[in-house]
């Protein structure tokens, strides 16, 4: 309000000054020297300009405040939308990318750089749920998810694509590196000291299937190949790695 009143006062002073100046010029040009003209030139702006300028400046101030509020609401909306998108793209329990988001991610990045795909399945997970309860089963999944995340690089990505199934996209098509990372994941999961609230240790292991050289072609085909290698690892006794190379894929 003080700012509006200050602006009104400035307008009033300028209006009076301009009115007196114009009146003086006109009187001089017409050789008139009536003091009443100066009185009228002073009184009229004093009566008119305060009310009009107050209304104009008050509306302008309301508009400014409205625009500030609108900008703030827009910023909050953008932040909320970003949070909602992030939440909708993540698995609620592990915080990893969900199935759809992970598939879309792989489909997008493989066009820029060939990579490799791992599908990781927790061994005997139903047995863990049956023997120790779903609470401990969820805890085991979160421990495995955290372990896998710690074994991959910043350029790689991980998602939860099923109940006890995870997928990793590695930003490399070097077969030795892919096998080494997969074996590291398998070994590190074995080393997890997961215990129930009753301090009973629950041994954890994973079977891993994968394919090297994910690039062009139908993304579903790569997942099917990696999935077949996963079941091959299961048939080989679980807790092992089975990776299909680029040469076999190309053939």
CATH number at residue 170: 3.30.70.270
Q: Is residue 22 part of a domain?
A: yes
Q: What's residue 137's pLDDT?
A: 93
Q: Domain of 188?
A: 99-250
* Across 150-178, average pLDDT: 94
Q: What's residue 10's pLDDT?
A: 72
Please check whether residues 163 and 189 belong to one and the same domain: yes
Task: Please say if 183 is a catalytic residue.
Answer: no
Please check whether residues 72 and 110 belong to one and the same domain: no
Please check whether residues 12 and 118 belong to one and the same domain: no
99-146: per-residue pLDDT in tens? 999 988 898 888 888 899 999 999 999 999 999 999 999 999 999 999
Please check whether residues 84 and 108 belong to one and the same domain: no
* Domain boundary residue, one of 66, 88, 110: 88
| Contact call for residues 102 and 167 (beta carbons, < 8 A) | yes
Q: Spot the catalytic one: 76, 100, 164, 165.
A: 164
Higher pLDDT, 23 or 55: 55
Which band of pLDDT confidence, cut at 50, 70 and 90, is reported for residue 77?
Answer: confident
Which band of pLDDT confidence, cut at 50, 70 and 90, is reported for residue 250?
Answer: very low
Q: What's residue 188's pLDDT?
A: 97
Please check whether residues 178 and 66 belong to one and the same domain: no
Q: Which of 60-74, 75-89, 183-197 has the lowest mean pLDDT?
A: 75-89
Please check whether residues 76 and 135 belong to one and the same domain: no
| Number of domains forming the structure of the chain | 2
37, burial (CB in 10 Å: exposed 0-12, middle 13-18, buried 19+): middle
Q: Is residue 168 part of a domain?
A: yes
Most confidently modeled of 33-37, 50-54, 57-61, 72-76? 72-76
Q: Is residue 93 part of a domain?
A: no
Q: Quick check: pTM over 0.75? A: no
The torsion angles phi and psi of 148, rounded to 5 degrees, stand at -60, -45
Q: Is residue 10 part of a domain?
A: yes
Please check whether residues 148 and 79 belong to one and the same domain: no
Q: Is residue 94 part of a domain?
A: no
Our CA angle for 105, 109, 110, nearest 5°, is 115
Q: Is residue 104 part of a domain?
A: yes
| Contact call for residues 19 and 42 (beta carbons, < 8 A) | yes
* Across 168-182, average pLDDT: 95
**Alpha-carbon distance values, 66 to 2, 52, 62 (Å):** 18, 21, 6
């Amino acid at each position: 309000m003080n700012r509006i009143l200050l602006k009104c006062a400035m307008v009033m002073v300028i209006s009076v000054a301009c009115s007196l100046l114009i009146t003086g010029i006109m009187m001089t040009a017409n050789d008139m020297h009536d003091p009443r003209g100066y009185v009228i030139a002073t009184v009229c702006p004093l009566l008119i300009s305060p009310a009009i300028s107050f209304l104009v400046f008050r509306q302008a101030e309301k508009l400014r405040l409205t625009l500030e509020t609108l900008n703030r609401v827009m910023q909050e909306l953008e932040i909320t939308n970003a949070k909602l998108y992030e939440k909708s793209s993540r698995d609620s329990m592990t915080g990893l990318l969900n199935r759809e988001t992970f598939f879309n991610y792989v489909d997008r990045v493989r066009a820029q750089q060939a990579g490799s795909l791992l599908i990781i399945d927790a061994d005997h997970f139903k047995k863990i749920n049956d023997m120790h309860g779903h609470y401990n089963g969820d805890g085991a999944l979160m421990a495995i998810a955290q372990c896998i995340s710690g074994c991959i690089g910043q350029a790689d990505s991980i998602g939860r694509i099923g109940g006890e199934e995870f997928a990793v996209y590695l930003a490399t098509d070097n077969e030795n590196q892919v096998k080494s990372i997969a074996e590291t994941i398998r070994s590190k999961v074995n080393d997890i000291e997961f215990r129930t609230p009753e301090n009973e240790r629950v041994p954890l292991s994973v079977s891993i299937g994968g394919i090297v050289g994910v690039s062009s072609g139908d993304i579903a085909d790569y997942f099917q190949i990696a999935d077949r290698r996963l079941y091959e690892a299961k048939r080989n006794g679980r807790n092992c790695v089975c990776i299909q190379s680029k040469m076999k894929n190309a053939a």
